[in-house]
Amino acid sequence: MSRTFYDHKGRRLRELSCGDTRIYLETELRRVWCRSCGAVKQEKLPWVADNLFYTKRFALFVGRRCRTATIQDVARELHRDWKTVKELDKQYLREQLRRVGTPAPRVLGSDEIAIRQGHPSRVVVSDLVRRRASWFGGKERSEESRDLF
């Protein structure tokens, strides 16, 4: 990658609190222009969350708090906007799913349900061990509908 300019952008990141004191880290993130693709790319630091205003430790803390409290309560507790806490919680959940992976169902069940009387039915495929729906779609009782799954 050829660099023609180097831009340092100062960033203030929210970190975990120490007691009642809120901690902020000030850092510089480098931005570089690539001659080959023409894009401006920003350096990715391993300890910065996807939302560039928070550290990963803070995002992890928010996600763990959201497991036992409502998003609104966590937002109030941390003096953050509700939308910000919701986004940090989604990042936490995505990371948890990435770590665990998607386990394949061992026992599948299939059924048709009617949306309304007189309307075509839909196919529901369920994981019978976990007792939850895995797929919903198709029309009527047909081989083509099951093939969509």
Looking at the structure, do residues 21 and 82 belong to the same domain, yes or no?
A: yes
Looking at the structure, do residues 38 and 80 belong to the same domain, yes or no?
A: yes
Q: What would the pLDDT profile of 20-77 be if each residue is shown by its tens digit?
A: 888 888 888 788 888 888 888 877 888 888 777 888 888 899 999 999 999 999 999 9
Looking at the structure, do residues 67 and 128 belong to the same domain, yes or no?
A: no
Indicate the pTM of the whole model.
0.58
Looking at the structure, do residues 118 and 92 belong to the same domain, yes or no?
A: no
Looking at the structure, do residues 115 and 63 belong to the same domain, yes or no?
A: no
Looking at the structure, do residues 78 and 137 belong to the same domain, yes or no?
A: no
Q: What is the 3-state secondary structure (H, E, C) of the chain?
A: CCEEEEEEEEEEEEEEEECCEEEEEEEEEEEEEECCCCCEEECCCCCECCCCCEEHHHHHHHHHHHHHCCHHHHHHHHCCCHHHHHHHHHHHHHHHHHHHCCCCCCCEEEEEEECCCCCCEEEEEEECCCCEEEEEECCCCCHHHHHHC
What integer is the mean pLDDT of 91-95? 88
Number of domains in the chain: 2
Structural domain span for residue 61 = 3-100
Looking at the structure, do residues 27 and 79 belong to the same domain, yes or no?
A: yes
Looking at the structure, do residues 118 and 79 belong to the same domain, yes or no?
A: no
